[in-house]
Amino acid sequence: MRVLVVEDEHRIAGSIKKGLEQEKYVVDLAFDGKTGLNMALDGGFDVIVLDLMLPQVDGLSVCKTLRDNSVDTPILILTAKGQITDKVKGLDLGADDYMVKPFSFEEFLSRLKAITRRPKALANKTITVNDLEIDTEGFVVKRQGKEIQLSSKEYSIIELLAKHKGQVVSKEKIIDRVWNYDTDVLPNTVEVFIKNLRRKIDNPFPKSDPLIHTIRGFGYKLDDKNV
């Protein structure tokens, strides 16, 4: 899952990023409202953490602009303001939840998970591709009931492919969704990770059809049908 954190206090932003990465999230940071708005409008995020008191463009304006542009990504507002009017205004503009600083990371993580559990997500928290099961809530991958140990990047890639089952996902899209904006990743890096995923997901099950397929010149897809 990819998270955009728009927070001008570097210490708080860094702490959130560190904590979420330990939970296997991919995290991008923006330290002002204008940058955060542009990144959010570009898409590709599963949830946005948005401070209200931001330089250049304030958080409420960012929230309103996103909703006006039909960006329905869940938004969790963070602010030092505790007044009920600020809370109501943020929710009225389309935010999904609201937390007042300071807060515990445990509660923050619980709130973040909660706002991503929309009815569609709840119904599909486990993705199944043939005998492969991906628990997108617990970050657990199993094949034929056997748990497969994956790194955070490997998990993010296989989840992305599973969410696009039967569709070709380009290397560029994998890089965009799995790595941070400020990370310089070459296409052959994706090839290395795909090779490792095959070694863990396909190779140990020779009696089953391979699930990870290379579509030369286009990218990769996860499918239970031979290509």
- How many separate domains does the chain show? 2
Sign of CA dihedral 192, 137, 108, 118: positive
Residue 185 sits in a domain whose CATH number is 1.10.10.10
Q: Please state the pTM of the whole predicted model.
A: 0.64
Alpha carbon dihedral 66, 71, 77, 81, in 10-degree steps, equals 20
The string of pLDDT tens digits covering residues 34-52 is: 999 999 998 789 899 999 9
Residue 81 banded pLDDT, cuts 50, 70, 90: low
Domain span holding position 189: 124-222
What's the pLDDT tens digit per position in 173-218?
A: 888 888 766 567 777 889 999 999 999 999 999 989 999 999 998 9
The pLDDT value recorded for residue 181 is 62
CA angle 167, 36, 181 (to 5 degrees): 50
Of 76, 92, 119, the last residue of a domain is 119
The mean pLDDT of the chain is 87
Query: Over 80: is that where the pLDDT of 125 sits?
Result: no
